[in-house]
A and B are shown apart, each in its own frame.
Chain A
Amino acid sequence: MKYVILIHANPDPWGHPTSIYTPEGRALPQEQHEEMDRQFEALLTEISAAGELVTAEALADPASATLYAWSADGALATEGPYAEAKEHLAGFFLIDCASRERAEEIAAQFAGPGSAVELRPAMWPGGDDQ
Chain B
Amino acid sequence: MTTAGLEQVWRRCAPDVLAALVRGYGDFDAAEDAVQEALLAAARQWPVDGLPDNPRGWLIRVASRRLIDQWRSEQARAGREQVVAQRVAADALVAPAADATNDGARDDSLTLLFLCCHPALTRPSQVALTLRAVAGLSTGQIARAFLVPETTMAQRISRAKSRLRQVGARFSPPAAAELPDRLVVVAHALYLVFTEGHTSTTGTALYDVVLADEAIRLTRQLYERLPRSGEVAGLLALMLLTDARRAARSRPDGSLVPLAEQDRTMWDRTRIREGITLVERALPTGPVGPFQLQAAIAAVHAEAGRAEDTDWTQIETLYRMLRDLGPNPVVTLNHAVAVAMVDGPNAGLAILDPLLLDRQMGRHHRLHAVRGHLLEMDGRVEDARSAYAIAARLATSIPEQRYLNTKSAPRQLVRPAAVPVPEDQLS
A residues at B contact (CB < 8 Å): 1-2, 48-55, 96-98, 100, 121-130
Contacts and interface: CB of A to CB of B under 8 A. Distances in A.
Contacts, number: 94
24 contacts: A49-B155, A50-B122, A51-B128, A51-B154, A51-B157, A52-B156, A96-B124, A96-B146, A96-B148, A100-B360, A122-B396, A123-B397, A125-B254, A125-B398, A126-B397, A127-B256, A127-B399, A128-B249, A129-B249, A129-B257, A129-B262, A130-B259, A130-B421, A130-B422
By secondary structure, the A interface counts as loop
Given A54-B149, A124-B396, A127-B403, 5 more contacts: A52-B152, A54-B148, A128-B195, A130-B258, A130-B423
Contacts of B400: 127-128, 130
Contacts of B146: 96
B148 A127 contact: no
A55 B153 CA distance: 12
A126 B258 contact: no
Interface in B111-138: 122-125, 128
B328 interface: no
Contact of B256 (A53, A122, A124, A129): A129
Contact-size category for B: 35 or more
A50 B159 contact: yes
Interface string B377-404: 0000000000000000000111111010
A51 B421 contact: no
Residue among A1, A52, A121, A129 with the highest chain B CB neighbour number at 10 A? A129
B201 interface: yes
A95 B147 CA distance: 12
A64 B136 CA distance: 47
B425 interface: yes
Contact of A50 (B155, B198, B425): B155
Interface in B346-403: 360, 366, 369, 396-401, 403
Interface string B185-196: 000000000010
A54 B156 CA distance: 11
A18 B193 CA distance: 40
A130 B369 CA distance: 9
